[in-house]
Amino acid sequence: MFKALKIREKLLLPIVLLVAVAIGSTYVLVDELVQTNAVFESLIKTKLKARFISKDITSQLSEAGRLANLLLLQREPADFNGTAEHLEQTLAKIGPRRDELRSLAPNSDAAINTATLALDAMSRSVKPALELKTARDHDGAVTYWGQNARSALLPALAAMNDTAEQLATAANDAVAAQVASTNDKIRSLVITMAVLITLIAAAALLIVLKGVVKPLNQLTGKITQLSSGDGNFELPEAERGDELGAMGKALLVFRSNAEKIKAAMSAEAVTVEIGEVITQAAQNDLTVRVNLADKTGFLRNIGAAINQLLERSNATLGDINRKTRQVADAVSEASAAVGQVSGGVRAQNTAVGQVSQALAESATAIRMVSTSANTANEKGVVAAKLVERGQLCAEDLLQIVEKIAQNSRKISQITQVIAGIANRTHILSLNAAIEAARAGEHGKGFVVVSQEVGKLAESAAQNAQQITDIVEQAAADAAAGRTASIEVKQTMDSIAGEVSQTSQMIRSIAVSMEEQQAMVTQIETNVVDIRGIASGNAVAAEEITATMIQLSQLATEQRQQLDTFKTN
Amino acid sequence: MVEWQEPLRLAARLTEAKFGLSQQVLGDRLASFLAALSPLDQMHLVNHLTHVPETDPKWQQLVEAMLVHETFFYRHMDQLDVVSREVLPLLRQRTGGAIQVWCAGCSTGEEAYTLAFLLRDAACRGRVLATDLSAISVAEAEAGLYRLRPGLNSFRTMPAHGWQHFDPHPSEPNCWSVATGVRQSVGFAVHNLMTPLMLPMKADLISCRNTLIYFSEDSLRQVEAMLVAASRPGTVLLLGPAERLRYTDVFVPMTDSHPQILHWPLPGGR
C-alpha cells in the first residue's frame, strides 16, 4: 500500500500537513492579534477617552477658574458681562462631559461628585458675583466668589487630575496585560508549530529515507552490479507502484538489454566460429562440426542445424561416394564384360561365318557321299566275293599255325638237350681249371683254355635259355594265332552275312543323303540369318561398349569430384 | 611382338589424327583388321596410308572396318517424344516451318529418316541433311531400303504409327522402303566430322547421338567446334544418353524433360 504510493504523493502528505499547520497557526495568530486589537480599541474608547474627558473637564474647569478671575478683575460692565457669558458657556460644556465621564468611568464617582460640587458652586456663584459687579461692588464680588466658588474649584481640579492619572495607569496596565497574554499565546503557538513542523519533517525524512533513499541505494547497488556485467539479482522493486518501481522496471529493461548485449557480444564470437565452420564446409570439408557445448539460444539452434546439415551432407555424400564408387566399379566391370561380349560376339560372327562355309562344304561333301554310296553298293557285291575267298584263306591259315606250334615243341626239346650239354661242359671246365692249377707252371695255358671253355658253356646255356624263351613265346603266339585264325574264320563267315546287309544299308544311305542335301540347304539359309543376328549383336555390343566407356569416364569424373569433399 | 605392334600403333595414330576415332573404343576393330594381314602387308598398308588422302580406297576400307553402324528407327524414343512435344513446335514457330536439321553421323540412315518422320508428323516443311564418314553406309541410307531381319534389325523399336512412312518392297518379302515423300526431304553426304562442313549451313536442330562416343578425348575439341560452327543462337542439339560436350559451353540444357536436349540460348530469353 505504502509502496504503491509515488514519492510525490508520499512527500505531499508532510507538505500538506506543514501547510495546514502554517495556515492554522497563522489563523490562530491573526485571531489573537485581532482580539488584542479589539482590546486596545475598547481601551482607547473607554479608559483613554475617559482620561481625555477628565483632562478636558480639568482644563474646562481651569478655563472657568481663569474666566472667573478675569471677570472679577474687569470693571467695565461690558467686559465682565461678556466674560460672564463666556464663563457660563464654559460651565455649560462641563455638564455633558461630566455625564460622559460618568458613563465611561463608573469607578470615579467620588471625583465626579467633587467636580459636580465645584461646577454647581461656580454656576450658583456667577449671578450673585455679577450682580455685585453691576452694583460696582467689585470687592464684594471677589469676596463672594472667594467664599462660595473658589474653595470648591481646587479639590475638583485635583480630583479630575487624579482620575485622569488613574485612568491612564489603568489603561497602561490593561495594555501591558493584553500584550503579555498575546505574547504568551504567540509563544505557545510558535512552540506548538515548531514541534509539529519538527514531527512532520521527521516523518518526511523517514519517508524519504525509508521509501526513497533505501530502495534507491539498493537500486544503485544493482545498477552498479549490472554495469559490472553481473545481472544476477532479484528485482522486487520493479513491482512497486512508485517512481522506484518505474526505475526498477527500467532496470529490468536495462538488464534484459544488457543480457541481450552480452548475448549479442557472445553471439558475435559464436557467429564467427560458426562462420569458420561454414567456410571450411564451403571448402568441401564436411568433417567439421560446430561445438555446441558452450552455446545457447538461437545460435545453438543454428549450430545444431548446421551440424545436422553437415551430418546429413556428410552421410549423403558418403553414401553417394560409396554408391558412385560402386557404380564406377560396376560400370567398369560391365564395360569390361561388354567389351568381352563384344569380342566374343565378333568371334561368334567369325565362327558362324566359318560354320556357314563349313555347311557349304558339307553340302558338297554330302553330294559326294551320295555318289559314293551308290558306288559303295556296287563295291559291296565285289566285297562278298572277296569274303568268300577270305574264308578259304582263313582255313589255310589255321592249318599253318598249327604246324608252327608243333615245330615249336620240337625245338623246345632240342634246346633242353643243348642246355644239358652246356651244363656238363661247364662242370668240365671247372675240373680242368682245378687240374691246371695243380699242374702249376705247366698248366697255365690250360687254365686259359678251361676258362674259355667255361665261358663258351655259359654262353651256350644262355643261348639255349633264350631259345627256350623264344620258342615258348612262339608256342604261345601260335596258340593265340590259332585262336585268332579261328576268330578270323568266324568273322569271315559273319562278314559274308553282313556284307549283303551292308549292301542294302548303303542303298538306303544313298537315299537319306539326298534328303540330307535338302536339309543342309535349308540350314545354310538359317545360318545366314544367324550370321546377320550375330553381326547385329556384335554391332550393338560394340556401341554399348563405347557407351560404357563414356559412362565409366563419367563415373570416374563424378568420383573425382566427390573425392574433393572431405567426409568421414 | 614389337614389329607386329608397330604398324598397329602407327595406324591408330593416323586414324585418330584424320578421323578422330578413339582407339580406346575402336582399337580392337583396328587390331582385328590388321591381324588379317601379314606383318609385311601391315607395314605396307601403314606406309601407304601415311602418304595418301583420306579419299583413298585403302583408307575407305580401313574406316569401314572400324566404324560401328549401330542404328535403328525411333531410337531413344523418350528423347524423341520430348523433341516432338517441346522442341519442334518451338522451332516451327521460330523458323516458320522450314526447319534445317543436321543428322551428324547418320550411319545407314535410320536416324535421319526418323527425324524426317518427326518433322512430317509435326507438319513441318523442314529438310534433313544427314552425313556419315562411311560412304557405304551413306549409299545404303540413300537407297532407303530396310529389311526386317531376325535379331537386332532396324525396326526393333518401331512404333505402330511409324509404319505409315514405309512402303513394302514390290518383290522382296520383309523388305521396306522409306516413302518417297520422306526420302525427298532427306539429303545424304559423306562427311568427316573432323573437317568443316562443305555446305555453309546453320542448322536449327542437330542430332549427334551416339557419335561422340567414338571420338577420342582430344579430337572432340575439333568435333565440338564443328558443331558450334554449324549452329547459331537458338540451335537445338540432341546428344546420346552417355554423351556430353567437354570443350564448349555454348550449349546448355534446354528442358527439364530430357537432359540430353541442349540448345544455344537466344540472347535475352529462350
pLDDT by residue (tens digit) across B11-56?
A: 999 999 999 998 888 888 898 899 889 988 999 999 999 999 988 9
Cα of A477 to nearest chain B Cα, Å: 58
CB pair distance less than 8 Å for B149 and A554: no
Helix (H) or strand (E) holding B165: none
Could you give phi then psi for residue A487, rounded to 5 degrees?
-65, -40
Report residue B269's pLDDT band, with 50, 70 and 90 as the boundaries. low
Comparing alpha-carbon positions, the chain B residue that sits nearest to A554 is B242
Give B-chain residues touching A542 at CB under 8 angstroms: 25, 29, 68, 70
CB pair distance less than 8 Å for B213 and A343: no
CB pair distance less than 8 Å for B68 and A543: yes
Cα of B263 to nearest chain A Cα, Å: 21
CB pair distance less than 8 Å for B240 and A547: yes
DSSP summary character for residue A48: I
CA angle A537, A543, A546 (to 5 degrees): 140
Burial annotation A486-508 (CB, 10 A radius, 16+ → b, else e): eebbebbeebbeebeebbeebee
pLDDT computed for residue B1 by the predictor = 40
Cα of B95 to nearest chain A Cα, Å: 34
Whether the CB of B259 is below 8 Å from some CB of chain A: the reply is: no
- Would the pLDDT of B252 be above 80? yes
pLDDT computed for residue B140 by the predictor = 94
Cell representation of residue A263 = 548475448
Cα of B218 to nearest chain A Cα, Å: 14
Comparing alpha-carbon positions, the chain A residue that sits nearest to B71 is A540
Q: Could you tell me which of B255, B206, B235 has the C-alpha nearest to residue B78?
A: B255
Task: Determine the straight-line distance between the first and last CA of chain B, rounded to whole angstroms.
Answer: 58
Helix (H) or strand (E) holding A135: none
- In this complex, the residue of A533, A536, A549 whose CB is nearest that of residue B24 is A549
CA angle A272, A274, A276 (to 5 degrees): 70
B134: Cβ–Cβ under 8 A, 6 or more apart, which residues? B63, B64, B67, B69, B107, B190
pLDDT computed for residue A129 by the predictor = 84
pLDDT computed for residue A3 by the predictor = 67
- In this complex, the residue of B24, B68, B242 whose CB is nearest that of residue A542 is B68
Whether the CB of B244 is below 8 Å from some CB of chain A: the reply is: yes
Whether the CB of A334 is below 8 Å from some CB of chain B: the reply is: no
Q: What is the pTM of this model?
A: 0.55
- Would the pLDDT of B141 be above 90? yes
Q: Could you tell me which of A155, A137, A8, A130 has the C-alpha nearest to residue A68?
A: A130
CA angle A435, A438, A442 (to 5 degrees): 95
CB pair distance less than 8 Å for B242 and A545: no
Residues B225-229 have a mean pLDDT of: 92
Do B265 and B232 form a contact (C-beta atoms < 8 A)? no
CB pair distance less than 8 Å for B214 and A546: yes
DSSP summary character for residue B132: E
CB pair distance less than 8 Å for B28 and A343: yes
Do A370 and A513 form a contact (C-beta atoms < 8 A)? yes
Give A-chain residues touching B70 at CB under 8 angstroms: 539-540, 542-543
CB pair distance less than 8 Å for B28 and A546: no
Comparing alpha-carbon positions, the chain A residue that sits nearest to B68 is A539
Do A510 and A377 form a contact (C-beta atoms < 8 A)? yes
Whether the CB of B173 is below 8 Å from some CB of chain A: the reply is: no
A 511-550 → B contacts, CB under 8 A: 529, 532-534, 536-537, 539-540, 542-543, 545-550
- In this complex, the residue of B24, B149, B242 whose CB is nearest that of residue A547 is B242
Comparing alpha-carbon positions, the chain A residue that sits nearest to B153 is A536
Comparing alpha-carbon positions, the chain B residue that sits nearest to A557 is B246
Report residue B194's pLDDT band, with 50, 70 and 90 as the boundaries. very high
Do A427 and A497 form a contact (C-beta atoms < 8 A)? no
Comparing alpha-carbon positions, the chain B residue that sits nearest to A529 is B150
Structure ipTM? 0.85
Cell representation of residue A5 = 504510493
The helices-and-strands tally (H runs, E runs) of chain B is 10, 10
CA angle A459, A465, A468 (to 5 degrees): 140
- In this complex, the residue of A540, A549, A554 whose CB is nearest that of residue B70 is A540
Query: How far is Cα A556 from Cα A559, in angstroms, rounded to an integer?
Result: 5
- In this complex, the residue of A536, A548, A549 whose CB is nearest that of residue B151 is A536
CB pair distance less than 8 Å for B152 and A537: yes
Residue-level pLDDT, tens digit, chain A, 568 residues:
566 777 777 778 888 888 888 898 889 889 888 988 888 888 888 888 888 888 888 888 888 888 888 888 888 888 888 888 888 888 888 888 888 888 887 777 888 888 888 888 888 888 888 888 888 888 888 888 888 888 878 888 888 888 888 888 888 888 888 889 888 888 888 898 889 889 888 888 888 888 778 888 888 888 888 888 777 888 787 787 777 788 888 888 888 888 888 777 877 888 888 889 889 988 888 888 888 887 877 888 888 888 888 888 888 888 888 888 888 888 888 888 887 887 788 788 788 888 888 888 888 888 888 788 778 877 877 887 888 888 788 888 888 888 888 888 888 888 888 888 888 888 888 888 888 888 888 888 888 888 888 888 888 888 888 888 888 888 888 888 888 888 888 888 888 777 778 878 877 887 788 788 888 888 888 888 888 888 888 888 888 888 888 888 888 888 888 888 887 7
A 339-358 → B contacts, CB under 8 A: 339, 342-343, 346
SS (H, E, C) A339-356: HHHHHHHHHHHHHHHHHH
The alpha carbon of A83 is separated from its chain's Cα centroid by a whole number of angstroms, namely 131
The helices-and-strands tally (H runs, E runs) of chain A is 10, 0
CB pair distance less than 8 Å for B210 and A540: no
CB pair distance less than 8 Å for B70 and A346: no
Whether the CB of B74 is below 8 Å from some CB of chain A: the reply is: no
Which has the minimum average pLDDT: A108-117, B95-104, B145-154? A108-117
pLDDT computed for residue B121 by the predictor = 92
List the single best residue of A527, A543, A551, A561 to mutate versus B (max B Cβ within 10 A). Answer: A543
pLDDT computed for residue B2 by the predictor = 43
CB pair distance less than 8 Å for B213 and A539: no
pLDDT computed for residue A400 by the predictor = 86
Residue type, A316: T
Do B17 and B52 form a contact (C-beta atoms < 8 A)? no
Cα of A556 to nearest chain B Cα, Å: 13
pLDDT computed for residue A491 by the predictor = 82
Give A-chain residues touching B32 at CB under 8 angstroms: 346
pLDDT computed for residue A139 by the predictor = 84
Give A-chain residues touching B149 at CB under 8 angstroms: 529, 532-533, 536
Query: How far is Cα A188 from Cα A555, in angstroms, rounded to an integer?
Result: 115
SS (H, E, C) B17-31: HHHCECHHHHHHHHH
